[in-house]
Amino acid sequence: MGRQPCCDKLGVKKGPWTAEEDKKLINFILTNGQCCWRAVPKLAGLRRCGKSCRLRWTNYLRPDLKRGLLNEAEEKLVIDLHARLGNRWSKIASKLPGRTDNEIKNHWNTHIKKKLFKMGIDPLTHQPLHNSETDNQNSQSDHQTPQIIPESENQNQSPGPNNTVPLISLEEINSYSPTDQNSSSDESNNLPDDAKFYENDPLISCLFKDDDPPDLFPWQFQPSQENFDSFWANSWDENCPWLLDCQDFGIHDFGFDCFNDVEIDNVLKSLDVGNIQ
DNA sequence: AAGCTTGCCAACCGCCCACCA
DNA sequence: ATGGTGGGCGGTTGGCAAGCT
């Protein structure tokens, strides 16, 4: 039996969201929080599918989203993570605060892919294009040259002398030593197999442990006043008096956790909403 | 100026998985 | 154990804008 559609197709609007719809959705989320997306359209007075509401919120309306193109550091990180994780965009996005999986996926397809091609790197394998072609022709060969294979294509394969060697970053491609994976620690024994596999890599291991990224990350998400101002300014032509409604409930419940009190105060001041709490 | 092509990205679609009764 | 449901994910599409001829 097929799965039921997430909503009644009849009478459900599709296509670009209007400012009015955005306003309704944000107002609802800020008032009620994120709950039962299927019920959201009805309760918010929207003729939209619940799924559509969720996507609109997570990909566009969330106040903690960054705007604009990925910067160089973010791009580099995406490439590095993609080399290890493959097309697991949500996992990649989870390590880039303020970025969505959709945004990263789009950026990958429109910008990074081309860049890598120009650099002579196969975006699928992260190997030099020439080598990739050769590998495709000789896929049965059991060479032991370090390969960068998206993890999604490498699932259920445990590392070992008779198997594929671990995924590595572009930077590490020349210095990789398969023997590195043999070391272990007490902590690593509690990790899933995949995590143990990557235990020597602080970046990848933090993904498995759901930790915050280590300090080696070049970026630290500190939303600037400018970014946050532009979010509100670009979302609607006018200031948003309805935002006042949100002062009566926990602002930290609605995705503002990344801002400290001073920053929130600054934002509200910039919106001429001075007397908040 | 008009028509065509290309690039970008918001939004949709369908599948998958976790959770719950 | 099973089936229904909600939410998440990745792939794809469609519309718009900019650039080109």
At residue A206 the predicted structure's pLDDT band, cuts being 50, 70 and 90, is low
B9 C1' closest Cα residue: A106
Which two structure tokens, joined as six digits, stand for A180?
């590195």
Whether A3 CB is under 7 Å from strand B: yes
A160 or A197, which is more confident: A197
pLDDT tops 50 at residue A137:
no
Nearest to A66 by CA among A34, A97, A93, A98: A98
d(CA A2, CA A4): 6
Q: Are A59 and A102 in contact (CB under 8 A)?
A: yes
At residue A192 the predicted structure's pLDDT band, cuts being 50, 70 and 90, is very low
Which two structure tokens, joined as six digits, stand for A69?
């193109």
Question: Gap from A39 CA to B6 C1', in Å?
Answer: 40
C16 C1' closest Cα residue: A16
Chain C: nucleotides below 7 Å from protein CB are 4-12, 15
d(CA A235, CA A229): 10
Whether A88 CB is under 7 Å from strand C: yes
Whether A4 CB is under 7 Å from strand C: yes
- Mean pLDDT of all residues in A150-166: 36
Range of weakest confidence among A72-76, A136-140, A149-153, A155-159? A155-159
Which two structure tokens, joined as six digits, stand for A188?
């690593």
Whether A39 CB is under 7 Å from strand B: no
Q: Give the helix/strand (H/E) hosting A28.
A: helix A19-32
Which two structure tokens, joined as six digits, stand for A203?
């970046």
pLDDT tops 60 at residue A39:
yes
**φ and ψ of A275, to 5 deg:** -90, 65
Q: Are A25 and A46 in contact (CB under 8 A)?
A: yes
Chain B: nucleotides below 7 Å from protein CB are 7-17
